[in-house]
Amino acid sequence: MARSLVFLGGGPESLSFLPQKERVFGYLPGFYKIFPTMKRIGLVGATGAVGLEVQKLIKQLKLPYKELRLLASQKSGGVETTCGFVQELIPDSFNGLDVAIFSAGADISQKFAPEAVKRGCIVIDNSAAFRQKPEVPLIIPEINASDLKNHRGIISNPNCCTTIALMALAPLHQAFGLSRFFASTYQAVSGTGLAAIKELDSQIRAWSANQELIPSVYPAPIAFNVIPKVEDFSESGYTQEENKMLFESRKILHLPQLSVSSTCVRVPVFRCHSIAINAEFEKPIDLPTAKKALLDFSGLEFLENQLPMPSLSSEKTSCFVGRLRKDSAFCNGLSLWVVGDQLWKGAALNALQILSLL
Amino acid sequence: MARSLVFLGGGPESLSFLPQKERVFGYLPGFYKIFPTMKRIGLVGATGAVGLEVQKLIKQLKLPYKELRLLASQKSGGVETTCGFVQELIPDSFNGLDVAIFSAGADISQKFAPEAVKRGCIVIDNSAAFRQKPEVPLIIPEINASDLKNHRGIISNPNCCTTIALMALAPLHQAFGLSRFFASTYQAVSGTGLAAIKELDSQIRAWSANQELIPSVYPAPIAFNVIPKVEDFSESGYTQEENKMLFESRKILHLPQLSVSSTCVRVPVFRCHSIAINAEFEKPIDLPTAKKALLDFSGLEFLENQLPMPSLSSEKTSCFVGRLRKDSAFCNGLSLWVVGDQLWKGAALNALQILSLL
């Protein structure tokens, strides 16, 4: 089993008994150090689904900081979370901050990330606002941490499905050279946000009380249903979410010719995205080498006699991969199934890992 | 929109005002006739999920019959359904019957189908027991009705996912020549049977009452989860369900070289299977031709500005296809999404359609 993020009760000083490379975030290849020097951290979107998970992780991991400034829209100003009171986001909110994690949607990132950078604050952005910009690194620390060195103040956190898919595909790419993959996703409602979590919850309760299921966030009831559309359609017929899987995989893996086709689907699951993948490689594949590559990859757990499932993956720092088999429709291909907590590795955790690398 | 099975309140005589080819089951290409001459029909597995749907369809369609003999295991003997009392299945149950629909699992089919044939009764078998036998036709009436002519007493109904996938792929194959497809399924619990329907129901109620979710039919809770395993594993790492998609597609489409790779997944949906498909063709594809092929195919509805979803497909005789787009990872490829009621077109309805052709 690959080394995974260590949860410990104590503060960073309690990690000193661990070998250097085992400390918190220390499994990141090449970055064998504990959470970096105390920083002044801003959190934009502090009351959203991802913002709350960032705070949960900071508390659970007892990550040290000089300041944690919670920021959100005017309507959330004054709200208290487990980490303190939320302030209304204004351009001057970033004064004196070292780094800010943005999890409030692309519009807010577009508007406020440049304000943060102007004030000397590095931005780690969870939205899609800057991912396509060549000068903005798009980072999964286990895969392309070295791309960080070129950042100019903004670093993008990849799309959650892309991150979870690539956590399984990157080690196989290293072994065999990835040329193409097909992906079908099974995405949890928490990826849409808190309102969608409430929508599934209230539909389930309505159903148990023999009441009607009323959709509001989604175009149809999500309880007992699957909805084959995540985000808006682009001209090609693929959705924005599906386009991200193509574009971001190419950027992160440094494979501009990579072929990707995906279908992104919302399912009535609260947390953790699952992805069925058929992948084609340049070199002949063999299963023992593939298994070893998956077993050895940091942040990934290969399950041989167990099924990766959302029910087992919630609030786990690793992604889980299984159902590995030679693909029957590719010459050099593998079929696999990967599950990850999209609020953690797909968002909050990956952002904190990037922060730990700065 | 393609013609679809017509539901009418009256008996077959009430259809006489319709053009001949619009009558019940009349949309089947080349079989423009109403439900055939009165038959003595047996129904094995009359108290199971599919058996109950066969009876529902017979009643809703007011299909005429001379006799409907309901058969099931000893423990269901004497049970009353909407169509009458259930008798215990014994070899002599088939005496005097013209045709029997088997929906009681492969073991029962293995044991009793030869007994039925011995007694001059044609068997339409929903199980996988005989599908691989070269002398047993495997029929989706809209696709390969002509294969029926070679039957020797047993006719197999295909696997539900195969049927739903091929209802969308067959017209595209006719247009462009199918060479390969990848499929990821989103399968409803009713495909497992009545016990699984109850399991999802009771887990949902338990959750609403803040109680534990206890799995019994499935290896993990199915509520708020997805389980990437349908049926047992074969040596290749594919499951039996996934192997069926390969074998049965080749047989039904008469394409022994067809490449197929699928991942079959159970989702917390009561009814209707959904399938994400990436398909490769021999000829260059163009979207207008593809759309026309789907629009014109009997038993299929192409949705251009709507999403096919389980919530819209329950107790519908058509399958629904949408999300059609040029596949970004195939040269001559299409991505699509198809949904069908696996208890109807995937089982009960397809069996009755086969019966109507005899």
DSSP letters spanning A8-22: -SS-GGGGTTS-GGG
Binary contact (B312, A181; C-beta < 8 A): no
> What's the pLDDT score for residue A34?
47
Arithmetic mean of pLDDT, A190-194: 94
Scanning every residue of chain B, which has its alpha carbon at the shortest distance from the alpha carbon of A210? B205
| A127 token code pair | 């939205």
Instruction: Please tell me what DSSP assigns to residue A89.
Output: P
Give exposure, B121-155, as e/b (b: 16+ Cβ within 10 Å). Answer: bbbbbbbbbbbeeeebbbbbbbbbbebeeebeebb
> What's the pLDDT score for residue B77?
82
Contact (Cβ atoms closer than 8 angstroms) between residue A322 and residue A277: no
Contact (Cβ atoms closer than 8 angstroms) between residue B194 and residue B49: yes
**Long-range contacts of B216-220, Cβ-Cβ distance < 8 Å, separation of 24 or more:** B217/B192, B217/B193, B218/B192, B218/B266, B219/A307, B220/A307, B220/A309, B220/A311, B220/A312
Return the domain boundaries, chain B. 12-158+347-357, 162-342
| A247 token code pair | 């574009």
Does the structure show a pLDDT above 50 at A348? yes
The dotted CATH code for A162-342 is: 3.30.360.10
Binary contact (A260, B327; C-beta < 8 A): no
Q: How far is CA B166 from CA A60, B66, B340, in A?
A: 50, 33, 11
Query: Is B325 in the A-facing interface, judged by CB distances under 8 Å?
Result: yes
**Closest approach of B54 to chain A, Cα-based (Å):** 23
Q: Write the DSSP string, A113-173.
A: HHHHHHTT-EEEE-SSSSTT-TTS-B--HHHHGGGGGG-SSEEEPPPHHHHHHHHHHHHHH
Q: What residues in A contact B236, CB-CB < 8 Å?
A: 325-326, 328
Of A181, A236, A311, Cβ closest to residue B326? A236
Helices A194-208 & B194-208 angle (0-180, nearest 10): 110
Size of interface A-B (CB pairs under 8 A): 162
> What's the pLDDT score for residue B74?
85
Q: How far is CA A29 from CA A22, A161, A163, A198, B262, in A?
A: 11, 22, 17, 38, 34
CA dihedral A310, A312, A315, A317 (to 10 degrees): -100
The dotted CATH code for B12-158+347-357 is: 3.40.50.720
| A231 token code pair | 């985000």
d(CA B207, CA A201): 10
Q: With a CB-CB cutoff of 8 Å, which residues 257-276 of chain A face chain B?
A: 259-261, 263, 265, 267-270, 274, 276
Query: Is A2 in the B-facing interface, judged by CB distances under 8 Å?
Result: no
Q: How far is CA A339 from CA A185, A187, A310, B333, in A?
A: 10, 10, 7, 27
Query: Is B250 in the A-facing interface, judged by CB distances under 8 Å?
Result: no
The pLDDT tens digits of the residues spanning A130-163 come to 999 999 999 999 999 999 998 999 999 999 999 9
d(CA B141, CA B144): 6
Q: What residues in B contact A333, CB-CB < 8 Å?
A: 261
> What's the pLDDT score for residue B204?
95
Query: Can you say how many angstroms the Cα of residue B254 is from the centroid of all Cα atoms in its chain?
Result: 19
Of B204, B276, B322, Cβ closest to residue A208? B204
Q: With a CB-CB cutoff of 8 Å, which residues 203-242 of chain A face chain B?
A: 204-205, 207-209, 219-221, 224-229, 236-238
Q: How far is CA B178 from CA B147, B253, B332, in A?
A: 19, 9, 10
> Position of tokens 């596949």?
B327
Count of CA atoms in the C-beta half-sphere (13 A) of A319: 36
Residue type, A275: I
Q: What residues in B contact A236, CB-CB < 8 Å?
A: 325-326, 328
Phi, psi for residue A73 in degrees, rounded to 5: -65, 165
**Closest approach of A167 to chain B, Cα-based (Å):** 18
Residue type, B30: G
Binary contact (B311, A208; C-beta < 8 A): no
First to last CA, chain A: 28
Binary contact (B310, A224; C-beta < 8 A): yes
Scanning every residue of chain B, which has its alpha carbon at the shortest distance from the alpha carbon of A238? B325
Q: What is the pTM of this model?
A: 0.91
Q: Choose the mutation target among A169, A178, A180, A184 for the interface with B, i.e. most B CBs under 10 Å.
A: A184
Q: What residues in B contact A311, CB-CB < 8 Å?
A: 220-221, 224-225
Arithmetic mean of pLDDT, A169-191: 98
Of A221, A312, A335, Cβ closest to residue B263? A335
Kindly give the parts of chain B with pLDDT less than 50: 1-34
Scanning every residue of chain A, which has its alpha carbon at the shortest distance from the alpha carbon of B238? A325
Instruction: Please tell me what DSSP assigns to residue B233.
Output: B
Q: Which residues of A are catalytic?
A: 160, 273
> What's the pLDDT score for residue A77?
82
| A322 token code pair | 């299984």
Of B221, B246, B310, Cβ closest to residue A226? B310
> What's the pLDDT score for residue B36?
57
Residue type, B71: L
**Closest approach of A252 to chain B, Cα-based (Å):** 18
Binary contact (A329, B259; C-beta < 8 A): yes
pLDDT band at A11 (very low <50, low <70, confident <90, very high): very low
Does the structure show a pLDDT above 50 at A288? yes
Of A207, A229, A278, Cβ closest to residue B182? A278
pLDDT band at A36 (very low <50, low <70, confident <90, very high): low
> Position of tokens 């807010």?
A108
Arithmetic mean of pLDDT, A260-280: 98
> Which of A215, A161, A139 lies closest to A343 in space, CA to CA?
A161
Q: Which residues pair with B334 in a beta bridge?
A: B279, B326
As a whole number, the mean pLDDT across chain A is: 90
Of B182, B224, B325, Cβ closest to residue A182? B182
Q: How far is CA B358 from CA B67, B127, B153, B350, in A?
A: 16, 19, 11, 13
Helices B49-60 & B349-357 angle (0-180, nearest 10): 60
Binary contact (B238, A328; C-beta < 8 A): yes
Q: Which helix (H) or strand (E) segment is B186 a member of?
A: strand B178-186
Residue B158's CB: how many other CB atoms inside 10 A? 28
> Which of B346, B357, B344, B300 lies closest to B58 in space, CA to CA?
B344
Of A180, A207, A337, Cβ closest to residue B263? A337
Annotated active-site residue in B121, B160, B161, B319: B160
> What's the pLDDT score for residue A20?
35
Q: Which residues pair with A184 in a beta bridge?
A: A263, A276
d(CA A36, CA A21): 14
Does the structure show a pLDDT above 70 at A32? no
Q: With a CB-CB cutoff of 8 Å, which residues 294-313 of chain A face chain B?
A: 307-312
ipTM of predicted complex: 0.91
Query: Is A78 in the B-facing interface, judged by CB distances under 8 Å?
Result: no
Residue B292's CB: how many other CB atoms inside 10 A? 14
Q: What residues in A contact B323, CB-CB < 8 Å?
A: 228-229, 237, 263
> What's the pLDDT score for residue A211?
94
> What's the pLDDT score for residue A14?
34
> Cβ contacts of residue A180 below 8 Å, gap of 6+?
A258, A259, A260, A279, A280, B329
**Closest approach of A186 to chain B, Cα-based (Å):** 8
> What's the pLDDT score for residue A31?
34
Binary contact (B226, A307; C-beta < 8 A): no
| B240 token code pair | 């039996």
